[in-house]
Structure 1
Amino acid sequence: MMQVYIDDELVTLTPEDAALWQAAASAALLPDKITRTQGLLALLERDPPITEAQILAFIATIEPEIERERVRILFANPDWRPNDPLWSQHCATFGLTSADVGDLFRHAATL
């Protein structure tokens, strides 16, 4: 039997409730990284979808050139990390909040 604290009270969970608790806890965790492929696929599943071409077109507009190159390198990286400045500095361009980015990473990790 699994025991957890709920509102400062130790509660013993049934096996079914323990499974639900663990599933919810896992879903809340943000993965350390996802692959670029997972990220691109997750972006395509958004409503509206965000395509790689849209992102590349945006990157081409970034000034100064050194910042553009930094963002291009981060975007091309085979591993994407949710704490990369790419997300915090540029996600709003595509209508994404920091919560949306977290959801995107959690979903991408399942693909």
Structure 2
Amino acid sequence: MSRRLITEVAGVIEAPVERVWPEIVRTVPRTELGEHVLAYQGGWWYRGEWSVTPVPGGTRLVHRVYDVAGQGWAVALANRLFIGFRERTRRSFAEGLVHLGNRLGCATRLT
């Protein structure tokens, strides 16, 4: 599968992986790729991957968005499609991070 990273966002949840991971699994429609890594592929171009790793004081959650459409589609269309995409992804991730922290009763922060 050909893929190109479009954007990456990350944050920290002040809770251990053992508490965070089940919440990620519960809320992300997914295919599990490995220990603490999920992927969701939708539409003709989108692949989102989420991963968690332990860090001092909590868990680091990373969300990466890949373009998996390959080289066969028009560059002009791609440029229009992705205008503002990074900012929308970061905003949506930040909102989800806050909701996750609320469900777990702990603080969160973007990194």
Structure having the higher helix fraction is: 1
Shorter-chain TM-score: what band?
0.3 to 0.5
Structure having the higher strand fraction is: 2
TM-score (norm 1): 0.34
